Amino acid sequence: MEILIISGLSGSGKSKAASFLEDAGYYIVDNMPAGMILKFAEFCAAGSSRYNRVALVYDVRTADNFDDFLDVLHTLRSKGYQCRLLFLEADVRTIINRYKETRRMHPLQEQAGSLEAAVNQEIAMMAPVRREADVVINSTTYSTARLRGELLRRFGGDQASGEMTVSLVSFGFKHGLPMEADLVFDVRFMPNPFYIDALRYCTGLDKEVRDYVFSFQETEEFMDKLRNLLRFVLPLYREEGKTVLVVAIGCTGGHHRSVAVTHALAEFIASLGYRVTENHRDMTRA
């Protein structure tokens, strides 16, 4: 059984982290006191496969004594549990701005007297927990997507960001753009097999059509530039936490050029190590 304890500063992204990890298959328990963590771990270990991956959120809201939490953490590790501690933090100004945006009150603000004092007090209080962390993530400059991608990369298993799927769609402009497309490329500048009698009723999956489309220098030059572009942007989308990137290739009717290019791109992107799906939306439409 895997136990991940999520801790850190208020406003650093713990709630979002818990949501992302829940999507990755973790069973999430928020706001758990230290005294219950060990009992809950024992319960999960004796239970069903539903509790194979558990993430527990522990923070200043439930902390009566951080020594108790550290004792529990050491006990879990000594008992052989696969237990890791994730600590999230951000700089003081960023946390203050986040609280201003949400108009929520910091859990220590009433006793500290001001938001800034509350944040600094929490940083001091949480320092012993931070020192025990296996992973520390400073979310100061992180977008939501980047935080998601980082968490999935570190803890997501099969759903890690490296497993981003690239969904390739060929289509015909006369039937409209695919609404789900992230990137759209227009290949109507390529010579059209429709005007070749022997190719008119074939598709871009037929060798004769592919040979025709790729026999022109402009097609090869376009493909070289497109491959270079995708080789550059795909890792960036993956790093941002994109799980599915939809790339649409369009020609006039969606039968020939877009199909041939999409099929070739699918082979190329798969060679880069990404999961690829290939869909020819309008290939059989009149």
| pLDDT tens string 14-49 | 999 998 888 888 999 988 888 888 888 888 888 766
List of residues 6+ apart from 18 with CB closer than 8 A? 6, 28, 30, 55, 57
**Nearest one of 241, 226, 246, 251 to 175, comparing CA atoms:** 251
The answer to whether position 286 is within a domain reads no
The answer to whether position 149 is within a domain reads yes
C-alpha to C-alpha distance for 3 and 111, rounded to whole angstroms: 33
Residue 130 corresponds to which tokens in the numbers above?
A: 């931070």
End of a domain among 158, 193, 226? 158
Would you say residue 136 has pLDDT above 90?
yes
Matching residue, tokens 């190590």: 273
Query: Rounded to the nearest 5°, which phi and psi values hold at 161?
Result: -60, -25
pLDDT in tens, 187-239: 999 999 999 999 999 999 999 999 999 999 999 999 999 999 999 999 998 87
Q: Is the domain of 108 the same as that of 216?
A: no
Q: Is the domain of 114 the same as that of 140?
A: yes
**Mean pLDDT computed over every residue of the chain:** 90
Q: Is the domain of 8 the same as that of 98?
A: yes
Q: Is the domain of 181 the same as that of 125?
A: no
Alpha helices in 79-216 (DSSP H): 92-102, 109-112, 115-131, 144-155, 207-213
Q: What are the Cα distances from residue 159, in Å, to 20, 191, 222, 281?
A: 11, 41, 33, 27
Q: Is the domain of 220 the same as that of 273?
A: yes
Would you say residue 122 has pLDDT above 80?
yes
In contact, 173 and 236? CB cutoff 8 Å = no
Work out the percent of the chain whose per-residue pLDDT is above 90. Answer: 62
Q: Is the domain of 152 the same as that of 179?
A: no
In contact, 219 and 125? CB cutoff 8 Å = no
Which range has the worst mean pLDDT, 132-136, 197-201, 241-245? 241-245
C-alpha to C-alpha distance for 90 and 108, rounded to whole angstroms: 17
Taking residues 86-103, report their average pLDDT: 93
Q: Is the domain of 147 the same as that of 47?
A: yes
Q: Is the domain of 73 the same as that of 175?
A: no
The better pLDDT of the pair 275, 260 is held by 260
End of a domain among 158, 193, 215? 158
Q: Is the domain of 141 the same as that of 223?
A: no
End of a domain among 111, 134, 158? 158
Residue 224 is which amino acid?
Answer: D
Please tell me the total count of domains within the chain.
2
List of residues 6+ apart from 215 with CB closer than 8 A? none
Question: For residue 180, what are the domain limits?
Answer: 164-280
- H helix and E strand count, the chain: 10, 9
Q: Is the domain of 14 the same as that of 134?
A: yes
Q: Is the domain of 180 the same as that of 101?
A: no
Using the CB atoms, write b or e for 85-106: b if 16+ within 10 Å. bbbbbbbbebbbebbeeeeeeb
